[in-house]
Each structure stands twice: as structure tokens, then as C-alpha cells.
Amino acid sequence: MDGTALARTIVAEAAATAADFTARTGAAPCLATVLVGEDPASVTYVRMKRNRCAKAGIESRHVALPATVSTAELVDTVTGLSEDPSVHGILLQHPMGHHIDERAAFEAIAPGKDVDGVTMHSFAAMGFGLPGFASCTPGGIMRLLDAYDVDLAGKHAVVVGRSAILGKPAGMLLLGRDATVTYCHSRTKDLAAHVREADVLIAAVGRPRFIRGEDIKPGAVVVDAGYNEGNVGDVDFDGARERASLITPVPGGVGPMTIAVLLSQTVRAAVTGIGPAAG
Ligand code: NAP
């Protein structure tokens, strides 16, 4: 499954809608990016996201806060952006530092501006199938599966990983589409036995080539969300592609989808508000 090509299509659609919005209202859709401190990886991620916004005709307003900022000051800043009508989406880059109550900071994002899908509101919306924004990576996974017409109803989806931003919401979105979902994690016994049962496998572990090709069920759909040092995923791609009917490469699979969903959801926040059900 070609995430690069699909992401390009999604971003082109977002750019066309953004241009129309700008022509109608006189102001472009605006994503506020908030960065605490100067962690090099975070600086790079935010810069990349802002560059992509600019190319799509989305304004980005950057707020850089010192690493010493308090939770109260950060919450105040985010609340101000939530209340600012010229800001349509808010991206609060994680990690924010050990002294920060990150949950409190995320919850200061208004649900209608949570285009990164990190608040409890968005999480609940994904669970209930109610209007809200999806976490970007799980949202990107669902768009990939849809673009390749993967029928999920009644399929056994196995999600390896249960983080709040990736594994857990991915499983909720798959459940919402009538898959039978199994979550695996570090305490799961005989992980390979679960993987062998998967019609749809979502790998979200963060360990290079952790899922062995020989454990993939013949004909399975394999989505590798992992991104590890050396540009390798969580799945042994060469082994798995022999057995899978569809598989995402790393890089070029899930990775480009995440930012495409961020841009798409920012434009949606500007144009229609919180919009249809997450995912
Ligand atoms: P995370 O928060 O570290 O979560 C990893 C999950 O894997 C946890 O649920 C953990 O289980 C589970 N796990 C760890 N070791 C395991 C083992 N030996 N057996 C079974 N499960 C195990 O990571 P994350 O943020 O979800 O990210 C996962 C991967 O996706 C990383 O490679 C990351 O770079 C990538 N990622 C990519 C994107 C993208 O844009 N493409 C976005 C986000 C993340 P426990 O819960 O029991 O600890």
C-alpha cells in the first residue's frame, strides 16, 4: 500500500479546499504549533509540519516556549489559542518535559481544534464513533485501508501495541468498522500465535523487524506503523510480503499518512468544524 501516493492525493484535496476557504473568507486555515523547549527531534518535526502546511496553503502560527515553562503557563497559552477565532487547529508537540502535566496541557485544546486527535474528547469520539478528530496515525491507517478497499467487517484485526496515540485508537477505529479486534502488548503470551490469526495486522511496537514474516497469515493485510532507526519498520518486510495480500512499506507507508491527516483535519476544522465521525 502506497502511503506516499495516497498522502499526496489527500494533501492536494486539502490544499484545494484551503484555497477555496481563503478565497471566501480572506484568511487561510491556520494551525498553531506549540513547542516547549528545543528538543532537536521535536524542532525538526514541527518545522517539517509547518513547511507542509505552507505548501498546502495553510497558515501556521508558531509558539515557542522555554523548557522552563510551567504547566499553568502552558495551559494558559493553549487556552488562548483555543479561544482565538483566527486559529483553527492546535498542535502541541510532545514530549514537553518531565515537569509538565502533559494531560492538563492537551486538555486545554478545544475539541473543535484538536486536529492532532490527542484530547480525551477525541479519544472518546473515536471510541463512540461520534463527531471528532482522529489521532493522525490511526486515522491515516484507516484511510489507507479504505483506499485499498479492505473489507474489515468480520475480519480478525490484531493490533500489536496499545499506546494512547496509536495502538489503542487504531483498535477502536477498527472495532467501529466491525472488525473483531485483539490487542497485543508487552505482557501478551505467545504473541506469534495471535499474529498468525490476523486477517489484518497492525504493527505499532517500535522494535525493528519485530514481527516475523513466517508468522503472517497467508493473504493477510499488514500495516506497519513502526518507524525505527535505520528507516525500518516493526515488520520483517521481505518475509511478510511473500505471504501478505497487501502490505505497507517503511518508509512510504503509514509515515506520510500521519501528516496528511493532520493537514486534512486542520482544513476540516476551518471549513466545517468538528465534522463527521472520527476515522
Ligand atoms: P510506545 O508508546 O512505545 O508503545 C509501544 C507499544 O508496543 C506498547 O503498547 C508496548 O506494550 C508494545 N510493546 C513493546 N514491546 C513489546 C513486545 N516485546 N511485545 C509486544 N508488545 C510490545 O510507541 P508508539 O508511540 O505507539 O509507537 C510505536 C511505533 O510506531 C514506533 O516505531 C513509532 O516510531 C511509530 N510511530 C509512527 C508514527 C508515524 O507517523 N508513522 C506515529 C507514531 C508512532 P506495553 O503497553 O505493554 O508497554
Ligand 1 centroid – CA 201 distance (Å): 14
- Please name the residues in contact with 170: beta carbons below 8 A apart, sequence gap of 6 or more: 137, 138, 141, 159, 202, 204, 225
Atom 22 of ligand 1: nearest residue by CA position: 186
pTM here is 0.97
* Residue 223 C-alpha from the chain's centroid: 14
> 63, 79, 112: which is the final residue of a domain?
112
Question: Is residue 108 domain-shared with residue 140, that is, in the same domain?
Answer: no
**Is residue 211 included in any domain, yes or no?**
yes
What are the phi and psi torsion angles at 26 (to 5°)? Answer: 85, 0
The chain-wide mean pLDDT, for the chain, equals: 97
Give me the mean pLDDT over the 29-50 stretch.
Answer: 97
Give the range of the structural domain holding residue 59, as residue numbers without chain letter: 3-112
pLDDT tier, 57 (very low <50, low <70, confident <90, very high otherwise): very high
Residue 8 resides in a domain: yes
Contact 117, 134 (CB under 8 A): yes
| Residue 275 to residues 3, 90, 113, Cα–Cα distance (Å) | 24, 16, 11
Same domain assignment for residues 48 and 146: no
pLDDT class of 273 with cuts at 50, 70, 90: confident
Do 46 and 85 have their domain in common? yes
Pairing of strands 30-36, 59-65: parallel
Residue 277 pLDDT > 90, yes or no? no
- Whether 239 and 145 map to the same domain: the answer is yes
Same domain, yes or no: 144 and 106: no
Give the 3-state secondary structure of the chain. Answer: CCHHHHHHHHHHHHHHHHHHHHHHHCCCCEEEEEEECCCHHHHHHHHHHHHHHHHCCCEEEEEEECCCCCHHHHHHHHHHHHHCCCCCEEEECCCCCCCCCHHHHHHCCCHHHCCCCCCHHHHHHHHHCCECCCCHHHHHHHHHHHHCCCCCCCCEEEEECCCCCCHHHHHHHHHHCCCEEEEECCCCCCHHHHHHCCCEEEECCCCCCCECHHHCCCCCEEEECCCECCCECCECHHHHHCCCCEECCCCCCHHHHHHHHHHHHHHHHHHCCCCCECC
The verdict on 30 and 94 lying in the same domain is: yes
In a domain? residue 175: yes
Q: Residue with C-alpha cell 483555543?
A: 82
pLDDT for the residue 276: 60
pLDDT digits (tens, 9 = 90+) for 160-172: 999 999 999 999 9
The CATH number that applies at residue 54 is 3.40.50.10860
211-230, pLDDT tens digit by residue? 999 999 999 999 999 999 99
Read off the pLDDT of residues 107-157 as tens digits, 9 standing for 90 and up. 999 999 999 999 999 999 999 999 999 999 999 999 999 999 999 999 999
Q: Is residue 118 part of a domain?
A: no
Q: Is residue 190 part of a domain?
A: yes
Confidence tier at 30 by pLDDT (50, 70, 90)? very high
Report how far residue 245's alpha carbon sits from residue 219's, in angstroms, rounded to the nearest whole number: 4
Residue 96 shares a structural domain with residue 160: no
User: How confident is the model at residue 198, as a pLDDT?
Assistant: 99
- Both 98 and 148 in one domain: the answer is no
In a domain? residue 235: yes
- At residue 157, what is the residue type? A
Looking at residue 224, its pLDDT comes to 98
The average pLDDT across 40-51 equals 96
Is there a domain that residue 73 lies in? yes
241 with 152, same domain: the answer is yes
Residues 6+ apart with CB under 8 A from 22: 28, 29, 57
User: Residue 31 is which amino acid?
Assistant: L
The number of folded domains in the chain is 2
Domain shared by 12 and 65, yes or no: yes
Contact by Cβ (8 Å): 41, 98: no
What is the set of active-site residues?
49, 93, 116
Mutation test of ligand 1: which of 182, 190, 205 has the most ligand atoms closer than 8 Å to its C-beta?
205
Residue 125 domain flag: no
For residue 191, report the distance from its CA to the centre of ligand 1, in Å: 15
State the distance from the centre of ligand 1 to the C-alpha of 31, rounded, in angstroms: 27
Same domain, 87 and 168: no
